[in-house]
């Protein structure tokens, strides 16, 4: 990745830190969701093979369309002066990297728990998880928020950054589309066949980033006051306990780093010790995720500089 790529990423992250998410009317991920919702209306009913093929067309066609659009933006931006080119790329890249919004959502849950307002905490938790929240007790609300912070470190930062490093802006945009498609269609039951293609593609695209996120959390635990040894032990033991082949990696590392037990009723239990009924545990999780994200950025910059040095030497 060139210096322009680093500048684009820096501007995207600065924009996220300063302004957060763009308005829904201008948010590419919102537009992705609307396009998926529109396509779902025409999905065939009651025919598994037809649903499977249609779901594959939705995720494959959308991936190509959005990645192609991002490629066009990148090529048009390349004709601009370097500063404007980086700014144009950053405007497209920023919505693919959700950092501030997720931090604020997690902190909002912690704030409600600090105020002993479990009802508000349950409501705010809906911004982070898809599960039913109204029956969760204080410990399960806290655990769900911690799990979301860990999983979203991979899905909303490490993975888009990984694909940006590998394939540039089109890679980050393509990943975000696949991940959004999986979030909307990749569930069992009604979407068992319609969402199967998006679920499998998301599993593949997130496979390495999820494992990188888990490793980063272990390192972050060493640097930021967590229990790195426990993070590594729990990661190795519990990463396969979730139905997802990827989600268990960062979540189990986070459970070990915080020395808590994370539980989703009737699905999995990760880690040892007691449930995390203290809201400060959520804030500790946010801090570990931020340190992990910083380490990922450092790795990206060092890798980019090393590739440039190698190219110059040749």
The pLDDT value recorded for residue 304 is 87
d(CA 274, CA 68): 48
The pLDDT value recorded for residue 187 is 67
Instruction: Give how far Cα 82 sits from Cα of 49, 69, 231, 300, Å.
Output: 49, 20, 42, 20
CB atoms within 10 A of CB 189: 6
Instruction: Report the Cα 173 to chain-centroid distance in Å.
Output: 13
The pLDDT value recorded for residue 220 is 98
Q: Tell me the pLDDT of the chain (314 aa) as tens digits.
A: 556 789 999 999 999 999 999 999 999 999 999 999 999 999 988 788 999 999 999 999 999 999 999 999 999 998 999 999 999 999 999 999 989 999 999 999 999 999 999 999 999 999 999 888 999 999 999 999 999 999 999 999 999 999 999 999 999 999 999 999 999 987 655 667 899 999 999 999 999 999 999 999 999 999 998 999 999 999 999 999 999 999 999 999 999 999 999 999 888 999 998 888 899 999 999 999 999 999 999 999 998 888 877 777 77
The pLDDT value recorded for residue 64 is 97
pTM for the model: 0.94
Instruction: Report the Cα 244 to chain-centroid distance in Å.
Output: 14
Backbone angles phi, psi at 270, to 5 degrees: -125, 135
Residues 6+ apart with CB under 8 A from 268: 241, 242, 243, 248
- In DSSP notation, 106-142 reads HHHHHHHHHTT-HHHHHHHHTTT-SS--TT--HHHHH
Do the beta carbons of residue 310 and residue 170 sit within 8 Å?
no
d(CA 130, CA 79): 42
Tokens 């007790």 belong to 137
The pLDDT value recorded for residue 306 is 85
Report which DSSP code applies to 45: S
The pLDDT value recorded for residue 5 is 86
Do the beta carbons of residue 48 and residue 56 sit within 8 Å?
no
d(CA 94, CA 1): 17
d(CA 274, CA 282): 14
């Amino acid at each position: 990745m060139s210096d322009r790529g680093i500048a684009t990423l820096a501007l995207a992250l600065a924009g996220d830190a300063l302004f957060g998410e763009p308005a829904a009317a201008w948010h590419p991920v919102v537009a992705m969701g609307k396009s998926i919702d529109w396509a779902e209306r025409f999905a065939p009913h009651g025919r598994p093979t037809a649903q499977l093929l249609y779901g594959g067309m939705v995720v494959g066609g959308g991936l190509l369309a959005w990645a192609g659009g991002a490629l066009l933006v990148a090529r048009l931006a390349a004709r601009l002066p370097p500063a404007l080119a980086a700014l144009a790329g950053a405007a497209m890249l920023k919505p693919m990297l959700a950092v501030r919004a997720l931090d604020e959502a997690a902190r909002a849950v912690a704030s409600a728990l600090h105020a002993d307002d479990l009802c508000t905490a349950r409501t705010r938790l809906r911004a982070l998880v898809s599960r039913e929240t109204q029956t969760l007790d204080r410990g399960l609300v806290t655990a769900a928020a911690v799990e979301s912070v860990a999983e979203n470190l991979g899905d909303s930062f490490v993975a888009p950054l990984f694909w940006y490093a590998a394939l540039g802006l089109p890679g980050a945009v393509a990943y975000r589309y696949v991940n959004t498609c999986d979030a909307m269609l990749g569930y069992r039951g009604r979407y068992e066949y319609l969402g199967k293609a998006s679920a499998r593609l998301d599993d593949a695209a997130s496979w390495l980033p999820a494992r990188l996120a888990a490793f980063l959390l272990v390192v972050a635990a060493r640097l930021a006051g967590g229990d790195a040894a426990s993070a590594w032990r729990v990661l190795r033991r519990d990463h396969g306990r979730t139905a997802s082949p990827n989600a268990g990696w960062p979540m189990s590392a986070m459970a070990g780093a915080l020395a808590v037990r994370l539980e989703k009723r009737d699905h999995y239990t990760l880690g040892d010790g007691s449930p995390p009924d203290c809201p400060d545990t959520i804030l500790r999780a946010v801090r570990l995720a931020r340190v992990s994200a910083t380490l990922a950025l450092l790795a990206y910059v060092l890798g980019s500089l090393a590739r440039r040095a190698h190219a110059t030497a040749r």
